Amino acid sequence: AEPFSEKLRVPEALTFDDVLLRPKESRVEPDDADTATRVSTSVELTVPVLSAAMDTVTESGLAIAMARRGGLGVLHRNMDIDEVVDEVERVKRADELIIREVVTASPDQTVRAVDEMMDEEGVSGAPVVDDDGEVLGIISGTDIRPYLEVGDRDEVREAMTDEVITAPQDVDARDALELMYEHKIERVPVVDTEDRLTGLVTMQGILQRREYDTAARDADGRLRVGVAVGPFEQDRAAAVDEVNADVLFIDCAHAHNRNVIDSARELAAGVEADVVVGNVGTREAAQELVEFADGIKVGIGPGSICTTRVVTGSGMPQITAVAQVADVASQHDIPVIADGGIRYSGDAIKAIAAGADAVMLGSYFAGTDEAPGRVVTMNGKRYKQYRGMGSVGAMQSGGGDRYLKDADEDEDFVPEGVEAATPYKGSVESELFQLVGGMKSGMGYVGAGTIPEFKRRAEFVRVSSAGQTEGHAHDVVITDEAPNYSPDS
Ligand code: XMP
Q: Which residues sit opposite 196 in a β-bridge?
A: 134
Mean pLDDT of 393-422: 76
* DSSP string computed for 467-479: HHHHHS--SS---
For residue range 315-352, what is the model confidence (pLDDT) as tens digits? 999 999 999 999 999 999 999 999 999 999 999 999 99
CA distance 184 to 248: 43
Q: Is the CB of 389 under 6 A from ligand 1?
A: yes
367 lines ligand 1 (CB under 6 A): no
Task: Please indicate whether residue 299, judged by its CB atom, sits closer than 6 Å to ligand 1.
Answer: yes
Report whether pLDDT(151) > 80: no
Q: Is residue 472 annotated as involved in ligand binding? A: yes
pLDDT at 489: 47
Q: For residue 365, give the nearest of 406, 448, 426, 415 by alpha carbon.
A: 426
Give ∠ CA 84-85-86 in degrees, rounded to 5: 85
**Residue 373 to residue 58: CA distance in whole angstroms:** 10
Which pLDDT belongs to residue 146?
83
Q: What is the mean pLDDT of the chain?
A: 92
Residue 301 has pLDDT above 80, yes or no: yes
Which amino acid belongs to residue 212? Y
Q: Judge whether residue 243 has pLDDT over 60.
A: yes
Pairing of strands 295-298, 336-339: parallel
CA 272 to chain centre: 19
Residue with more model confidence, 204 or 356: 356
pLDDT confidence band for 405 (50 / 70 / 90)? low
402 labelled catalytic: yes
425-472 confidence digits (pLDDT tens)? 999 999 999 999 999 999 999 999 999 999 999 999 999 999 899 988
Query: Is residue 296 scored above 70 in pLDDT?
Result: yes
Q: Which amino acid appears at position 174 of this protein?
A: R
Q: Are 92 and 223 in contact (CB under 8 A)?
A: yes
140 C-beta closer than 6 A to ligand 1: no
For the chain, percent of residues with pLDDT exceeding 90: 75
Q: Check if 251 has its Cβ closer than 6 Å to any atom of ligand 1.
A: no
Which range has the worst mean pLDDT, 208-222, 403-417, 438-452, 458-472? 403-417
Entry pTM: 0.88
Interface confidence, given as ipTM, is: 0.94
Our answer to whether residue 187 is catalytic in this structure is no
Q: Tell me how far the alpha carbon of residue 390 lies from the centroid of ligand 1, in angstroms.
A: 8
* 437 is annotated as contributing to ligand binding: no
39 pLDDT higher than 90: yes
Residue bearing the CA closest to ligand 1, atom 19: 388
Q: Is 362 in the pocket of ligand 1 (CB under 6 A)?
A: yes
Return the ligand 1 atom nearest residue 304 CA: 2
Q: What's the farthest any 2 CA atoms get from each other in the chain?
A: 99
3-state secondary structure labels for all residues of 192-219: CCCCEEEEEEEHHHHHHHHHCCCCCECC
State how far the alpha carbon of 270 is from the alpha carbons of 167, 311, 334, in Å.
Answer: 37, 35, 19
Tell me which of 75, 227, 344, 389 to substitute to probe ligand 1's pocket, judged by most ligand atoms within 8 Å of the beta carbon.
389
79-119 pLDDT, tens per residue?
Answer: 999 999 999 999 998 888 888 889 999 999 998 899 999 88
> Which residue, among 321, 393, 386, has the nearest Cα to 359 in the 3D structure?
321
Give the count of beta carbons closer than 10 Å to the beta carbon of residue 455: 19
Q: How far is the CA of 479 from the centre of ligand 1 (A)?
A: 32
Residue 465 has a CB neighbour count (10 Å cut-off) of: 9
- Considering the candidates 69, 265, 306, 457, report the single residue annotated as catalytic: 306
Q: Which of 382, 402, 456, 462 is catalytic?
A: 402
**Which residue's CA lies nearest to atom 11 of ligand 1?**
306
Give the pLDDT score at 475: 85
What is the distance between the alpha carbons of residues 173 and 120, in angstroms, rounded to a whole number?
28
- For the chain, the residue count is 489
